[in-house]
């Protein structure tokens, strides 16, 4: 019996040790967090006076990403190490239009041509109108690490996942908004019609909206949230500018009592974060966000892009909308996961110019030969950063991949 216990514990030790090396299902990294002004900024996550941006990122990562904890115990003179995946399940607010976060896994997400990954939000259904509720759609972009440096950078390529509203006539592409840092000490201008709005000229913004009546306005302050709405770790910046796709407004005031403003935000059909409820196993047939498909990726001109895998995910608030006492429409995210974390990368690994399954100095020599005038026999793989030419930038990209 003792021998069986020792063998069993040794097997457990082997299995738990090997599990450390498997791809983790959940988000593991927050690369950048740059929210727009909003009522939950500096509270989700809470900002601590004087902390630098790295500290803010660390707490975003702690709230959204999984972490591995190991516990070692002695069983029959054998040390057993158990690994557990811990989730904190906190929320991070992106603020008004354009505010964004860039996250990633500990591995590339492989395009399985089905539901590939999920990013969760905090949608909830209205108590009075079940067809709507608090839908604050965030647009998803996916990035490919074209320069091979392991982090989102200028040398990488980004693609929008075209949701159900992408081609809607009221969707505005190349929308740009600029917010202007407020004077926190200025006198407030409360609303005369809404007792919950205590500063209607708080943070000014301007935009290139196609509607001339929506080219300027203010982020309003309400009585529920009196902390500064401007990201306090960006206090040295006079303006914040964001560009992307702007979705049509989805909020409707359903109240009949003047001054009450009972707004309901109706969800879009598919393709956005914080747009529908997260999946609940207790009611799998209820409307919910089933996830995202890499196959939805389009380039800046709206053309479909065939991506075998992605390295980074960016989510940004997709609406410039204010809903009475509910405040600005601001996307919140609460973590995410890869549906197929152990999927094998397809042939054509980035940087593998000669297609031998590894990235090494041989691939560098292939690129050098093309730069020096040899025929490009590598079916486009020498153009590692996908900018249309083979030059020293592709060589540097392969070097970065090798050094990772």
Domain range summary for the chain, segments of one domain joined by +: 2-338, 361-403
DSSP states of 349-389: -TT-TT-SS--SHHHHHHHHHHHTT----STTTT-TT-SSS
At 97, is the pLDDT very low, low, confident or very high (cuts 50, 70, 90)? very high
Mean pLDDT of 212-232: 94
- The stretch 193-202 carries a mean pLDDT of 90
Give CA–CA dist 332/216, Å, rounded. 24
User: Is residue 84 very low, low, confident or very high in pLDDT (cuts 50, 70, 90)?
Assistant: low
Question: What's the mean pLDDT in 349-372?
Answer: 82
- What pLDDT score was predicted for residue 12? 42
- pLDDT for position 284: 67
Q: Provide the whole-model pTM.
A: 0.81
What are φ and ψ of residue 403, in 5° steps? Answer: -80, -10
pLDDT band at 119 (very low <50, low <70, confident <90, very high): very high
Percent over 90 (pLDDT), the chain: 55
Q: Which helix (H) or strand (E) holds 57?
A: helix 53-64
pLDDT in tens, 121-137: 998 877 667 777 789 99
pLDDT over 80 at 156, yes or no = yes
* 24-38 pLDDT per residue, tens: 899 999 999 999 999
Question: pLDDT per residue over 256-310, tens digit each?
Answer: 776 666 788 999 999 999 999 887 655 667 778 899 999 999 999 999 998 989 9
């Amino acid at each position: 019996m003792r021998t069986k216990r020792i063998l069993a514990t040794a097997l457990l030790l082997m299995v738990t040790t090997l599990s450390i090396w498997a791809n983790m299902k959940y988000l593991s990294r927050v690369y950048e967090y740059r929210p727009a002004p909003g009522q939950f900024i500096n509270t989700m996550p809470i900002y601590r006076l004087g902390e630098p941006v790295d500290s803010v990122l660390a707490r975003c990562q702690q709230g959204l990403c999984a972490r591995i904890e190991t516990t070692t115990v002695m069983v029959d003179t054998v040390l057993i190490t158990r690994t557990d995946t811990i989730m904190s399940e906190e929320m991070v607010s992106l603020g008004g239009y354009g505010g964004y976060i860039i996250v990633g896994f500990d591995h590339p997400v492989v395009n399985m041509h089905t539901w590939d990954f999920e990013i969760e939000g905090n949608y909830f259904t209205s108590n009075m109108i079940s067809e709507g509720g608090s839908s604050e759609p965030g647009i998803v972009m996916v990035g490919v690490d074209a320069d091979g440096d392991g982090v989102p950078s200028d040398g990488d390529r980004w693609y929008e996942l075209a949701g159900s509203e992408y081609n809607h006539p009221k969707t505005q592409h190349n929308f740009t908004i600029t917010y202007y840092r407020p004077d926190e000490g200025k006198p407030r201008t409360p609303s005369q019609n809404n007792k919950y709005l205590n500063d209607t000229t708080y943070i000014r913004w301007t935009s290139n909206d196609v509607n001339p009546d929506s080219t300027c306005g203010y982020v309003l302050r309400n009585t529920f949230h009196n902390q500064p709405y401007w990201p306090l770790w960006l206090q040295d910046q006079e303006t914040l500018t964001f560009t992307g796709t702007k979705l049509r407004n989805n909020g409707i005031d359903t109240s009949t009592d003047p001054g009450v403003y009972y707004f309901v935000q109706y969800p879009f059909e598919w393709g956005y974060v914080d747009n529908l409820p997260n999946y609940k196993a207790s009611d799998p047939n209820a409307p919910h966000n089933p996830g995202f498909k890499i196959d939805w990726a389009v380039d800046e001109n709206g053309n479909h892009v065939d991506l075998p895998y992605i390295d980074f995910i960016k989510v940004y608030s997709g609406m410039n909308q204010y809903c009475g006492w509910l405040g600005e429409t601001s996307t919140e995210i609460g973590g995410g996961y890869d549906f197929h974390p152990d999927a094998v990368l397809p042939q054509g690994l980035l940087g593998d110019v000669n297609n031998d399954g590894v990235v090494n100095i041989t691939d560098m020599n292939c690129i050098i030969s093309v730069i020096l005038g040899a025929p490009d026999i590598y079916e486009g793989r020498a153009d590692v950063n996908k900018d249309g030419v083979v030059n020293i930038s592709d060589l540097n990209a392969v070097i970065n991949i090798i050094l990772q």
